[in-house]
Amino acid sequence: MENFTFHNPTRIHFGRGQIASLRQELPADARILLLAGGGSIRQNGVYDQVVKALGARTVFEFFGVEANPDFDTLMRAVEICRREQVSWILPVGGGSVLDGAKFVAAAVHFPGDPWNILAKRVRQLAHALPIGAVLTLPATGSESNGAAVISRRRTREKLAFISPDVYPRFSILDPETTFSLPPRQIANGIGDAFTHVIEQYLTYPADAAIQDRFAEGVMLTLMEVGPKTLANPADYDARANLVWAATCALNGWIGVGVPQDWATHMIGHELTALHEIDHARTLAIVLPSLLQVQRDAKRGKLLQYAERVWGLREGPPATRIDAAIAKTRAFYESLGLKTRLSDYNVGPDTAAEVARRLKARGMVKLGERGDITPEKVEEILRAAA
């Protein structure tokens, strides 16, 4: 295991009725920007709960943050913050709204062009506004990490930034707020969280026993409660376990001291920017092919994954690896996440375009060993046709 320093500053309020804890969390004199998406929170009663908990505080509202939040939209929210001297950002929604809040919080006092936060991957954002989040979609882990992914439709880009300064100070996770999710978003959430675990686990052995067992536990939990919560969306316990699994998948715990891959995500972001495919679906397309192309480099962990996650103990190693990759693909498909580019009417030519774009961004050494070159990216996507 590598050396590490671990600090996750997000306080979590988990369970039914927890939106009321906004009352203690937000200062009485806070000037708050409530950030939201297209309106789901008005339909499912979450907005009413939030407004009630905020009481007499000064609140400005900004609705309209898109799925894959857009830079130009968010800059309008930044202007409100500057004009109204907002002191806290309160995102209420899914990963897109939370990521959008991180960007807004970082951009308000950022010197120069805020796009540089993304283009130059700025990490130190000491003047970021504090964020408190109400999460309504289990998927991204954004409620308890310092990452955000922002799109710019005008230039067809989708870039990430990571900073210790934009972790939410607190996040409220009430599983009941997620009951109104359509099956497509529940499935996306399960697939996204599963892939987050894989990206931190399926690399090479690092003798990190706790991280491995914890990662395997999160995957097994997702495999168990995922289908359950899709079949019975109002089953509180199944949903509560999905919500907490998605947080644990990307709040840092399983990733400390171990090698990480993230090539699937980097390739996936380009597919969303180019073809507007949902984030989780891009991962379902890329990951099975990536595992196939990288099977020699990932051999040790693939065999561990085959045995501990899928119970594959019999037969020659190559057969077990084939079966583990096939089961991974089948898991995505069972959730309704199609795993081929052709399922989304995208032709194989996108392979060269994605490779070219990553190269232009200097992303020429992806993966845990830096051996996923643009040529390999192309190979992976051609295998996903």
Interacting residues toward ligand NZQ by CB under 6 A: 37-41, 44, 67-68, 93-97, 99, 136-137, 139-142, 145, 147-149, 177-178, 180-181, 185, 188-189, 192, 250, 265, 279
Residue nearest to Zn ion (CB): 192
The three-state secondary structure class of 382 is helix
Of 283 and 372, which CB lies nearer to Zn ion in the complex structure?
Answer: 283
Is residue 172 helix, strand or coil? strand
> Least distance in Å: CB of 325 to ligand NZQ?
21
Look at residue 81 and give the partner it binds from ligand NZQ, Zn ion, none, a contact being a CB closer than 5 to 8 Å depending on partner kind. Answer: none
The item of ligand NZQ, Zn ion, none sharing an interface with residue 44, based on CB under 5 to 8 Å by kind, is ligand NZQ
Q: Which is nearer to Zn ion, 174 or 199 (CB)?
A: 199
What are the b/e assignments for 94-127, b being 16+ CB within 10 Å? bbbbbbbbbbbbbbbebeeebbebbeeebeebee
Q: What part of residues 213-272 is at the interface with Zn ion (CB under 5 A)?
A: none
HEC string of 194-208 equals HHHHHHHHCCCCCCC
Q: Is 278 in the site for Zn ion (CB under 5 A)?
A: no
Q: Are the C-beta atoms of 113 and 67 separated by less than 8 Å? A: no
Taking CB under 5 A as the rule, does residue 157 contact Zn ion? no
Partner in contact with 282, chosen from Zn ion, ligand NZQ, none, beta carbon below 5 to 8 Å by kind: none
Site string for Zn ion, 178-217 (x = CB under 5 A): --------------x-------------------------
- Binding partner of 247, given ligand NZQ, Zn ion, none, CB within 5-8 angstroms per partner class: none
The tokens describing 54, both together, are 């905020």
For 342, the 3-state DSSP assignment is helix
Q: How far apart are the first and last CA of the chain?
A: 37
CB burial string 186-220: b at 16+ within 10 A, e below: bbbbbbbbbbbbbbbbbbeeeebeebbebbbbbbe
- 250 or 363: CB nearest ligand NZQ: 250
Q: What count of other Cβ atoms lies within 10 Å of the Cβ of residue 300?
A: 11
Rank residues 129 and 250 by Cβ distance to Zn ion and give the closer one. Answer: 250
Which residue ranges make up the site for Zn ion (CB under 5 A)? 192
